[in-house]
Amino acid sequence: MARFAMLIDASRCTGCNACRIACQMQWQLPPERYYNRLEHNEKGTYPNTKWEITPIQCMHCDNPPCRDVCPTGATYKRTDGLVLIDSEKCIGCKYCMVACPYGVRQINYDGIPEKCRFCAEYIIEGKMPPCVSTCMNEVRIFGDLDDPESKISKVMAKKAVYQLLPEKGTRPRIFYVRK
Amino acid sequence: MFAKKQWLTASLILVCIGAAGAINILINGEHVMGNNNQVPWGILIAGYVFFAASSTGVGLISSLGHVFGIKRFELLGKRALLISIILLLCGFGVLALELANPLNMIYILLSPNIKSPIWWMGALYGLYLLLLFAEFYYSLKEDHKKVKPIANIALITKLAAVSNLGVVFGMLHSRPFWQGPYYSLYMILTAILSGAAILSIVFYFVGQKGRTVIYQGENIVRNLGKILAGALFITVIFTFWKILTSLYGGIPGKAGAAIALLAGPLGLKFWLMEIILGIFLPLFLLIKYSFQPVKVMFASILTMLGVLFMRLDFVLSGQIIPLEMIEGLQITGYNAYVPGWSEWALILGAIGATIFLYMLGEKKFNLDVVVDIHQHQENLASTKTTLVKVEA
């Protein structure tokens, strides 16, 4: 069984937002709705300042609070690690939105709190999610952690990585290369 | 104070306003509501908490009579049950319009997730509503042998339901201001607060109509006023320590939410509506006028206004601080939330529906408590108030 994950090297990000737009095109989202975003943080003191950019999207946590709080089990975690939503079961209570510490859920026109799906329908065909394939600087690497020959496994073996908000106990499947 | 016709007209106007809001939400969905991706829960969740906790509070106070056997509170009897039912139904109505897909509620039964506090909220309040209907039905039939065990189970259910209402928020590790067991206790306390206030208002007007509100020479509204004062006083203590512990140490997410309440975008609602109008002014009226029924009634109206804003402050304060998922991220400003007119209309409509349905219930059912003949004669001797018809 695959164990899908993503590695993000934020230091390579130019802030062009192509990942966000590629995702919006893939899923036909209106401009105001997006499943990935860039957080900008100003570091240093004038004149030695810089923007630090961190791409954020659903972390596909191994212990997802959005799944635990969902009263109907509409949010579920697949054995390959993807956290998905069964919109047929969603009552639209938005509890998952309030429970997510990463703020990645977006209400769609049907009142379903949608989010990044790791492009579930495409990756099973061996394709890469557009946020990965469109990036000119190869900020994201997507793959199977259970495959030692996968690119993500090889890079993660060499680099120091971290996860966001480890203290929340969510165990995200998105890893960041330590700067 | 007001004639029955005026109450009826006012309540129906409110119901019409609420219906307009509900239709707008049903046609246009989430987009006419103020909630957004940063503040997913808005005034309708606050409204649901307002109605559900009030229903439980009314039930808890009436338990003093039919569970704990304190005679004077037996006067509350059927009226308290009816109010409790109506408030809970109005709460469910408000919640149903907040949900984007209420028809999918069937999956709460078909694929339940018992790890979810909202699942438990549905189960416990659903059970509570059924028990209320049963208790009310047998109370109308004066079948006290059946009422007693139902009331005992209902007491446990309502305590579980209202404390679980706090858990819905307390389980959220993503929202430091809510997280923890505090809001479970707070919900029980403020349920009693709103329950005492609502019963005071109702029984003041019931007394005005010449119905039984006197027990051993003392008006029940005075007793309810004392409970109200006690609950208000403890609410001050709870609120004070909640704010102080949140500020202490400047913990991200907690301190910011407390500052938002004290001096931020929620400041006016918190100080003016929740603290001054909702707590201190009622306390002043109650103590200064020694629990005179008319003053208790005014204090109760102010309290309920305060409780409405208390619920709104509570729901918004947990979401007003932007999430800090990156260490050292500079957070500037607050998450914005402005309720749409439809949401306010719906809350007003639910208040109108509560008044209208209660008046309908007063007309339809015999809600007077049957007191035993000795007590009845005692009351006649001690007061000049008209008493209820006594069953043979």
Strand, coil or helix: what is A3? coil
Q: Has residue B26 been placed in a domain?
A: no
Chain B residues whose beta carbon lies within 8 Å of the beta carbon of residue A92: 99-102, 104
Least CA distance to A115: which residue of chain B?
B37
The minimum CA-CA distance between B96 and chain A, rounded to whole Å, is 9
Residue B260: how many CA atoms within 13 Å on its side-chain side?
A: 26
Q: Give chain B's contact residues with A (Cβ, < 8 Å).
A: 29-30, 35-38, 40-41, 98-102, 104-105, 107-108, 110-113, 115-119, 122, 168, 171-175, 318-319, 322-323, 325-326, 328-330
Looking at the complex, does the CB of residue A65 fall below 8 Å from at least one CB of chain B?
yes
Instruction: Give me the CATH number covering residue B126.
Output: 1.20.1630.10
Q: Which of A68, A95, A178 to mutate to test the interface with B (most CBs of B within 10 A)?
A: A95
Do the strands A161-162 and A174-177 form a parallel or antiparallel pair, or are they unpaired?
antiparallel
Least CA distance to B107: which residue of chain A?
A72
Residue A124 has pLDDT above 70, yes or no: yes
d(CA A28, CA A12): 27
Per-residue pLDDT tens digits for B16-34: 999 999 999 999 988 899 9
Q: Which of B27, B325, B327 to mutate to test the interface with A (most CBs of A within 10 A)?
A: B325
Do the strands A75-77 and A4-8 form a parallel or antiparallel pair, or are they unpaired?
unpaired
Q: B116 and A91 in contact by Cβ < 8 A? A: no
> If pLDDT is split at 50, 70 and 90, which confidence band does B2 have?
low
The per-residue DSSP string of B320-374 comes to: SSPP--STT----S-------HHHHHHHHHHHHHHHHHHHHHHHHS-------HH
Report ipTM (2 d.p.).
0.92
Which residue from A41, A69, A111 is facing B330, i.e. has the nearest CB?
A41
What's the mean per-residue pLDDT of chain A?
95
Instruction: Give me the CATH number covering residue A36.
Output: 3.30.70.20
> If pLDDT is split at 50, 70 and 90, which confidence band does B375 have?
low
Using an 8 Å Cβ cutoff, are B21 and B345 in contact?
yes
CB atoms within 10 A of CB A135: 21
Containing domain of residue A109, as a range?
4-177
d(CA B43, CA B37): 15
Interface A-B, measured as beta-carbon pairs within 8 A, has a size of 127
- Which residue matches tokens 């009622």? B282
> So what's the pLDDT on residue B373?
44
> If pLDDT is split at 50, 70 and 90, which confidence band does B381 have?
low
> If pLDDT is split at 50, 70 and 90, which confidence band does A133 have?
very high
What's the mean per-residue pLDDT of chain B?
91
d(CA B389, CA B305): 35
Long-range contacts at B322-325 (CB < 8 A, ≥ 24 apart): B322/A103, B322/B38, B323/A101, B323/A102, B323/A103, B323/B174, B323/B253, B324/B252, B324/B253, B325/A39, B325/A56, B325/A101, B325/A102, B325/A103, B325/A164, B325/A165
Q: A103 and B112 in contact by Cβ < 8 A? A: no
> So what's the pLDDT on residue B392?
41
- Which residue matches tokens 């509506």? B273
Residues of chain B above pLDDT 70, percent = 93
Residue B109 tokens, joined: 């039964």
Chain B residues whose beta carbon lies within 8 Å of the beta carbon of residue A114: none
DSSP H/E element including B280? none
Which residue from B41, B107, B118 is facing A69, i.e. has the nearest CB?
B118
d(CA B40, CA B273): 23
Using an 8 Å Cβ cutoff, are B311 and B343 in contact?
no
Containing domain of residue B277, as a range?
38-322+342-382
d(CA B105, CA B87): 21
The minimum CA-CA distance between B172 and chain A, rounded to whole Å, is 6
d(CA A9, CA A155): 11
Of A29-43, B222-236, B338-352, the one with minimum mean pLDDT is: A29-43
If phi > 0 it is left, if psi is from -120 to 50 it is alpha, else beta; for residue A56 that is beta
Counting the structural domains of chain A, the total is 1
For residue B269, what are the CA distances in angstroms to B48, B298, B309, B334?
18, 20, 6, 16
Per-residue pLDDT tens digits for B271-284: 999 999 999 999 99
Q: What angle do CA B376, B379, B383 make, to 5 degrees?
A: 145
Residue B125 tokens, joined: 């309040």
Cα torsion angle, B360, B364, B365, B368, sign:
positive
The minimum CA-CA distance between A93 and chain B, rounded to whole Å, is 5
Could you tell me which of B220, B221, B236 has the C-alpha nearest to residue B281? B236
Residue B236 has pLDDT above 90, yes or no: yes
Looking at the complex, does the CB of residue A104 fall below 8 Å from at least one CB of chain B?
no
Q: Has residue B8 been placed in a domain?
A: no
Cis upstream peptide for A47 (omega within 30°): yes
Looking at the complex, does the CB of residue A93 fall below 8 Å from at least one CB of chain B?
yes
Which residue from A102, A107, A112 is facing B323, i.e. has the nearest CB?
A102
d(CA B26, CA B93): 12
Least CA distance to B29: which residue of chain A?
A111
- Which residue matches tokens 């219906």? B19
Per-residue pLDDT tens digits for A47-102: 999 889 999 999 999 999 999 999 999 999 999 999 999 999 999 999 999 999 99
Q: A91 and B175 in contact by Cβ < 8 A? A: no
Q: Has residue B87 been placed in a domain?
A: yes
Counting the structural domains of chain B, the total is 1
> So what's the pLDDT on residue B390?
43
Where helices occur in A90-170 by DSSP H, the ranges are: 95-99, 120-123, 130-133, 151-158
Q: Has residue B328 been placed in a domain?
A: no
Could you tell me which of B350, B41, B52, B46 has the C-alpha nearest to residue B191? B52
Contacts of residue B54, Cβ cutoff 8 Å, sequence gap at least 6: B87, B91, B191, B194, B195, B198, B304, B307
Q: B29 and A111 in contact by Cβ < 8 A? A: yes
d(CA A69, CA A52): 33
The interface residues of chain A toward chain B in range 139-168, judged by CB-CB distance below 8 A, are 164-165, 168
Which residue from A54, A68, A113 is facing B116, i.e. has the nearest CB?
A68
Q: Has residue B330 been placed in a domain?
A: no
Q: B118 and A93 in contact by Cβ < 8 A? A: yes
Q: B108 and A69 in contact by Cβ < 8 A? A: no
> If pLDDT is split at 50, 70 and 90, which confidence band does B215 have?
confident
Per-residue pLDDT tens digits for B185-196: 999 999 999 999
d(CA B350, CA B304): 14
What global pTM score does this model have? Answer: 0.93
Q: Has residue B33 been placed in a domain?
A: no
